Amino acid sequence: MKKLIAILLVALMAMSLVACGNNGGEAGEATYAIVCKDASNPYMLRMISGFEAACEALGVKSVTKSPESATVDGQITIVNELVAQGVKGIAIAANDAAALEATIQAATAQGIVVVTLDSDTKGSQMFVNQAGVEQVAQVLVDSVYDMAGGEGEFAILSASSTATNQNAWIAAMEEIIAADEKYANLTWVETVYGDDEPQKSTDEAQSLMTKYPNLKVICCPTTVGVLACAQAVQNAGSSIKVAGLGLPSEMKDYVGDDKVCPYMYLWNPIDVGNCAAYMIDALAEGKVGEIGTSFEAKNGTSYEVMAGDPAAKQIIVGPPFAFTGENIAEWAEVY
Amino acid sequence: MATKSGRVISHKSEFSLAKLFLRWEALLILIFLAVNVMNICLSPYYLNAYNLFTNINNFMNTAIIALPMAFILLLGDIDLSVGGNVCLSATMLGIVYNATDNIWLGIAACLATATLCGLLNGVILTKFSELAPMIVTLATNIIYRGLSERILGNGSTGGMLNVSWFSKIFYGRLFNLIPYPLIVFAVLAVVFGLVMHKTAFGRRMFAIGSNKKAAAYAGVKVDKIRLLVFTLTGFMCGLSAVIYCSKLGSVKSDVADGFDLEAISMCVLGGISTAGGKGTMVGAVIAVFTVGLLRYGLGLINLEGQTIRIIIGALLICVVMFPTIRDAVKKLFAKKK
C-alpha cells in the first residue's frame, strides 16, 4: 500500500508539472455556445445553422452541444462543461421549465450571458421567443376549428411533457377554447406526448386513432410530432386531418388541400438561432434596457424588450407563418 | 502471490516493481492519472477547482450506486434493477410531496419504496435460489420503471425545488467549494470499504463469491447475507433518487435510464469480478472517478455524447482484457526464475 501511495504522489507531482506548463494555453477568442434539446432534431439543426451564421458575422467562435436524448439532466451536464470552458455566452433550448435554474445562476455568477431560445426556463436572462404564445395558440385553435368543420373530437400530440414552449401553447389553447362560445362544439379528448422521438410519436398517433374512432383532427405543436403523425395517418388511410407546426422540407409531401395536412404553421428556425446569437451580443454589451424599451441589435433589427415568464425578459422574433399547398414547395427549399 | 481476492500475500516484503504493476489498483491508478494528464493537456480549463467539483457532482448519483453494486458483484450476483428503482422511488418522492406538501414524507416514501424494491429482489432471489439474478433483476427493472410510467403516464411530477433547502442537497457546497453529494459519497465509500475489507461480514461476502456452496457448508448464512445486500442496494437507490430529485426538481419516467450498466461498468473497471469473490473498494472508487473525469474531459473538448460513450466502452473492454495479458506476463516471469 505504501508503494502505491508513493507512486501516486510521484505521479501527482508529474501532473502538476504538466499543469504548470499548460497555463499559457488560454484561448483568447470569445465563444458563444448553443445547447439544443437533443442531438437528432432537424428543427434544432436549422436553429444551429442560424446561430453559427450569426456568430461568424459577429466574429466569435461558436460551439454546438446537445444531450444524447431530450433530458434536462444531460443539459445540466453540458452547461456545466461550457461554464468550465469559459464561454462568453450560452443559448439554450431548455428541456424543463425549472430544473436548469441553479445551473444557469452559477453560469451567470461567472459572468456568462445565458439566453433561452425555442423553449424557456427559469433563470434565463432573456428568452428569444420564436412567436408570441397567444399568437401560436390562436392559429393552432383556428386550424383545429377549421379542419374539424367547427365541431367534433380532436387530440393533441405534443413533444415532451416537461417542454416549456409546448406546455405554454397548450395552456393558452385551453384558455382560448374556454373563452369563446365559437369553440364550444369542439371536444378535446386527450393530450399525448411523443417526446420528440419519431417512433414514440408514431405509436402515440396510432393509439389515438384506435382509441377515438370519431377523432377528426390531431394537432401537433412540434415538428417531430407533426411529421410522425402525418405519416401514421396517411399510412392508416384515415380521414383524420393533421394540424400543427412543421418544417416545410419534411412536410412537403403531406401538406395540401387534398392531403392529410391542409396547411400548417411555423416560423423560421434559422432566424431564431440567428437572433439568439445577436441577443447574447447585445446583453454582453449592455444594450438591452428595461422592460418596455427597445434597442437595435447588430443585425440591424429593433426589438422591443418585454416581460418574460419564466425568463427575466423576452423578445419576439416574428409571427407564425402559414404553409399551404401553394407555397410549400418553395419553402421546402429553404428549411 | 496474489490470492483470488486480489490481495498480495508475501512472506518477504521485497520490493518488486514488476509485481507492483501487476496489481489491478496500480494499473487503475495509472489509467486514472493518464486520464487526468490527458484532460489537462486537452483543455486549459480542466484544473479549475470550482468547476471541477461542479462536474464531479454530476456523476455522484451513479457513484453512490456503484458502492452497493460492488457488494452485489462480490457475491457473484448482479442487480440490473437499480435504474428502475431510482426512477420509481424518485417518482414516489414527487407524488407524495405533491399530495401532502411535506417534503419529509416524500423523502420517507422514496427511501421506503427503494428499500422495498431492493428487498423484493432479495426475497425472490433467496427463496428461488435457482433463478439467475440477471433475469430476475432485469424483470424487476422493467416492473419498477413500468410502475413509474403507469403512475406518471407521459407527464411528470415536480415542484420539489420550491422547498429551498431541498435543492441544497445537490447544489449546496461545503466552504462554498465541495458539493454535499461528494461528501456523502466519500463518507459512504469509507464505510463500504471498511465493511468489505475489515469486518467478518465482508469476509463472508468474499467467501460466498468465491464458492457459494463451500461458504454455506462452512456455516455462512448465504441467503441472509444476499437478502441484506440486495435490500441495502435498494436503500442506496433511494438515496440516489433523493439527490436526483434535488438536482432536477421534477421527475419523468425516463430518469436514471442506464444507471445500472453505468454502475456495473464502474465496478468492473475497478477490478471487481462479475464472477464474484474478487475486488477491492479502493479499485471501485478510483474507477468511478476515472470514468467520470474521462467523460468530463471529453465533454470539455466538446465531443458528442455518443462519441464519449464509444470511448468509455472501448476503455472498459481494453481494461477487462488486462488480466489475460497480466497472466501471460506472470508466466513469463515465473519461467525466468
Please determine, for residue A14, whether its predicted confidence score (pLDDT) is greater than 60: no
Characterize the bridge pairing of strands A294-296 and A302-304.
antiparallel
- What pLDDT, on the 0 to 100 scale, is given for residue B212? 84
Domain count of chain A?
2
Question: Tell me, what CATH number does A242's domain have?
Answer: 3.40.50.2300
The letter for the amino acid at A146 is D
pLDDT of residue A12: 56
pLDDT higher than 50, residue A110: yes
Q: Report yes or no: A192 at the B interface, CB cutoff 8 Å.
A: yes
Q: Are residues A144 and A293 in the same domain?
A: no
In sequence order, what are the residues at sequence separation of 6 or more whose Cβ sits closer than 8 angstroms to the Cβ of residue A268? A46, A50, A318, A321, A334, A335
Amino acid B11: pLDDT? 47
What integer pLDDT is reported at residue A46 of this predicted model?
A: 83
DSSP notation for B114-155? HHHHHHHHHHHHHHTTTS-HHHHHHHHHHHHHHHHHHHHTT-
A4–B25 CB contact, under 8 Å? yes
The closest CB to that of B54, out of A15, A73, A80, belongs to A80
Please report the residues numbered 272 through 331 in chain A whose beta carbons come closer than 8 angstroms to any beta carbon of chain B: none
With vertex at residue B168, the alpha carbon angle to CA B101 and CA B230, rounded to the nearest 5 degrees, is 80
Q: Which pLDDT value is given to residue B21?
A: 54
**A330 in any annotated domain:** no
Tell me which residue of A183, A331, A179, A198 sits closest to A263, measured CA to CA: A331
Q: Say whether both A244 and A139 belong to one domain.
A: yes
**Contact between chains at A84 and B44 (C-beta distance less than 8 A):** no
Q: In this structure, are A161 and A230 located in the same domain?
A: yes
A162 and A98 co-located in one domain: no
Q: What is the mean pLDDT of residues A107-121?
A: 88
Nearest Cα residue to A89 out of A42, A29, A132, A163: A29
Domain covering B64-320, topology: ABC transporter involved in vitamin B12 uptake, BtuC (1.10.3470)
Ranges of residues in chain B whose predicted pLDDT is under 70: 1-22, 336-337
Cβ–Cβ gap B161/A101 under 8 Å? yes
A9 lies within 8 A of chain B by CB = no
Give the best residue of B8, B17, B31, B33 to mutate against chain A (max A CB count within 10 A). B33
In chain A, what residues touch B43 (CB-CB under 8 Å)? Answer: 85
Spell out where A70-146 has E strands. Answer: 89-92, 113-117, 126-129
pLDDT at B82: 92
- Are residues B215 and B208 in contact, defined by beta-carbon separation less than 8 angstroms? yes
Which residue in the set A15, A22, A193 is minimally distant from B33, CB to CB?
A15
Taking residues A116-122, report their average pLDDT.
85
pLDDT at A28: 59
Three-class SS state of B84:
helix
Does any domain span residue A332?
Answer: no
The pLDDT-based confidence of A292 (bands split at 50, 70, 90) is confident
Contacts of A164 (CB under 8 A, 6+ apart): A94, A96, A97, A119, A120, A121, A310
A258 and A294 fall within a common domain: no
Here the ipTM equals 0.78
User: pLDDT at position A219, please?
Assistant: 92
Q: Is residue A3's pLDDT more than 80?
A: no
pLDDT: is A12 or A239 the higher one? Answer: A239
Q: Which residues contact B304 (CB under 8 A, 6 or more apart)?
A: A39, A66
- The answer to whether position A8 is within a domain reads no
Chain B residues 266-305 with a CB less than 8 Å from chain A: 296, 299-300, 302, 304-305
Classify residue A19: in a domain, yes or no.
no
Reduced to 3 states (helix: H, G, I; strand: E, B; else coil), residue B260 is helix
Residues in B touching A4 (Cβ below 8 Å):
20, 23, 25-26, 29
In degrees and rounded to multiples of 5, residue A174 shows phi and psi of -55, -45
**Rounded mean pLDDT of chain A?**
83
Q: Which three cell numbers stand for residue A183?
A: 369553440
Return the SS3 of B20: helix
Per-residue pLDDT tens over the stretch B298-311: 888 888 878 888 88
Residues 239-258 of B with CB under 8 A from A: 247-250, 252, 254-255, 257
**Which among A8, A67, A98 has the least Cβ separation from residue B305?**
A67
The mean pLDDT of A290-308, rounded to a whole number, is 79
B40 touches chain A (CB under 8 A): yes
| Selected residue with higher pLDDT from B9 and A335 | A335
Whether residues A273 and A126 fall in one domain = yes
Q: Are residues A93 and A171 in the same domain?
A: no
Q: What is the pLDDT of residues A235-257, one digit of tens each?
A: 888 888 899 998 888 888 888 88
Decide: pTM greater than 0.90. Answer: no
Domain range enclosing A207: 133-266
